[in-house]
Every structure is written in C-alpha cells, then in structure tokens.
Homo-oligomer: A and B are copies of this chain.
Amino acid sequence: MTKGIEAVETKYFTMAHEFRLESGRTIVPVTLAYETYGLLNDKKDNAVLVMHAFTGDAHAAGSHKGDKGKGWWDFMIGPGRALDTDRYFVICINVLGGCKGSTGPASVNPKTGKPYGLDFPVVTLGDMVNAQVKLIDHLGIDKVYAVLGGSMGGMLALQWAALHPERVKCVIPIAATLKHSPQQIAFNEVGRQAIMADPAWNGGDYYGKAIPEHGLAVARMLGHITYMSNESMEKKFSRRVKGDTGGFQFSPDFEVEGYLQYRGQNFVKRFDANSYLYITKAMDFFDLSGEKLFEKGDLGQTKFLVIAFKSDWLYPSSQSQNMVRQLKMHHVDATYCEINASYGHDSFLIETEGSRQVHLIKHFLANWK
C-alpha cells in the first residue's frame, strides 16, 4: 500500500449570514468542521467531496497531531490511492446537526446562551447538503468533480445530485438507497425510543448533567448488529463463551454480547444522543424516489457509479438496483456493481472487504477526469 496522508488538522468554517433551512427556519451561526487532503488546482475542478456515514466525522484520512489513529477512510484517500491526493482535492465535512465540530443540538443557542437541545430546528439531508454548498462556495469551487460516500454518505451524495445537478460531475452512492424502507425506519425508531426511554435524556436537556448513556448504548448495540452480516458475526464470534461467568446474572456470557456492550459504551463517549435523534430522523424523511431525484435537472451530464454489497441486509442491493433502474429510465449514465463482500453494511468501511470497491472507484474517477 502507498504511503498515506501526513498529519492533518480539522478546520472550521463559520457562515457569514444566517442559514435558511428547507423548513423555512433559520440557524445562526452555522459552523462546519471539515478536513481537506491534496490541493485545489488552478481551474478549481478537482474537488472530491467525501460524505461520511451517520456517526462519522470530517476526519476521513491521515492522523491528527499526537494521535496515531487514522481517519475512517484512510485506505481510500492519499497519494496514489483511489481518491488520489496527487490529483484530487479531497474534502470531508461533518454534517449539520452532527456533534463532531459542526453546529448541532449540542451547540450553544445564541438566544439562550445554553445548548440547543430540542430547540435545535429539524434538519434534512437537503439542509446538510445546502450547508456544504456554502463552504464549497467559500472555497471558490463552482463544480465538484465527484461526490461519494457510503450509507447516509451515499444518500447525501444523491441529495447533492438532486439539489445541485449542475455542480457535480460524478456521483458514487455506496450501500445507499433512494429512501428508507419501513424496516430501516423501524430500526432507527427503536434506537430513538431507547434513547428517549432513558430518564437521563430528559427531553433532550441533559448537557452539563448525566447523559443518557444507557439508552444511547442500547441504540448503538442494535445499530452494530444491523451493520454486520450474520456471516461476519459467525466468523467473528461463533458461540464462544467469555471465560467462566460462574453463576449467571444476565451478564454477557457470549463474546458477541461483551463486544456489543463494549462498542455501545465506547460510542457513548464520542456521540451526542440528540444528534442521534436528529440525524436518524433526517435519514428516515429522506426520499428521492419517483421523480424527486430529477426535479432540479435532468442529470444528463452526471455520471453515476452505484455500489452495493451482497451481504448488506440493512441496505439490501435491491435498493441500489432500484436506484440504477430510476437513473436508466431517465437516460442517466449509471454503472452498477454488487460486491461479493461478506461483512454486511459496514463493508465499505473495511479495507479488506472493500478492495474491489477501491479499485472500482479509482478507475471510475480516472476515466472521467
């Protein structure tokens, strides 16, 4: 593997004016956390926008100073890698409503001097995209070369194409959908109910107090099951029992239970419960089915690469196939690839599972540039 990105740092962009949401409500100030890798060329036509998934952040590649951990898509981004930083100016922005440096429900509401909580307005995937457009404008970029991402990141890539068809050339939705099915909504709703059932959630007003860690951990545990495949869980855990629990009191007896608890408890330290609610609702309301993807423009100049994973049962490949069908019906240039990875929905985040993904994206982007 080639050498990756060197030390990076997260930057912040604060909008000069109030930001108007699709609902008509406004937020001020709006700050977006973002990172960039590589250099914007003189023609400013080599920008590649990487969209993170639900609980992701702007730190897609490289390491922060003093931190050995790599960004979440490091194997994809760097000199000679699929998102080749010798050619492309790669940008990753934390979504509006998030909790990784961008304005969200944990941010201070200037009207009260306290965190918004549930006073934060409802945001949509369209709002997240429109906020990113402000940053792209600020960077002087008229048209991005490509926008891509997995899961919610793929839905955001579609939303970019739908709202700003003239401003994007290549779109790569990975393990995504044009809209959530009732099952996808239902899984999200159970996560939300778990958070809201925690008394510490307190109607969203918990900042500076005990956080709803139990509810949030349960939500994350459930999420984890849906991100893996039955097969990958089988490989990873089988039915191995954790040591001798001697006299069982509903402690985690199986390794898979201990792993889920660990992941749940870890998540609580790094994610805000209200952001969980706002972002999952935004995903559930996202709907570009029917003609909605084509309302602002015919996408005739846009190239799509749609990627699905065979073992992904949360965003099944039938949803990607349906997306391609819609694109083809509208005479849009769309390529479909179903990758035979076994890890489930999270395959796009895993280098070993995603080697075909890397290859496909690299060549797709090189073809059009």
Contacts and interface: CB of A to CB of B under 8 A. Distances in A.
Given A190-B260, A316-B230, A197 B217 contact: yes
A80 B185 CA distance: 42
A287 B239 contact: yes
A269 to B, nearest CB: 16
B193 A261 contact: yes
Contacts of A197: 194, 197-198, 214-215, 217-218
Given A196-B250, A215-B197, A256-B185, A190 B233 contact: no
A230 B193 contact: no
Identical chains in the assembly: 2
A239 B182 contact: yes
Contacts of A225: 183, 186-187, 190
A304 to B, nearest CB: 23
Contact of A239 (B122, B180, B256): B180
B233 A186 contact: yes
A234 B264 contact: no
Interface residues of A, number: 54
Interface string A173-207: 00000011111011101101110111100000000
Contact of A182 (B194, B221, B238, B250): B238
A298 interface: no
Interface string A246-259: 00111011111100
A248 B182 contact: no
A277 interface: yes
Interface of A: 118, 122, 179-183, 185-187, 189-190, 192-194, 196-199, 214-215, 217-218, 221-222, 224-225, 228, 230, 233-234, 236-239, 248-250, 252-257, 260-261, 264, 277, 281, 284-285, 287, 313, 316
17 contacts: A118-B249, A118-B250, A181-B230, A182-B237, A182-B239, A182-B255, A183-B233, A185-B239, A187-B225, A189-B252, A189-B256, A189-B260, A193-B214, A193-B221, A194-B194, A194-B197, A250-B277
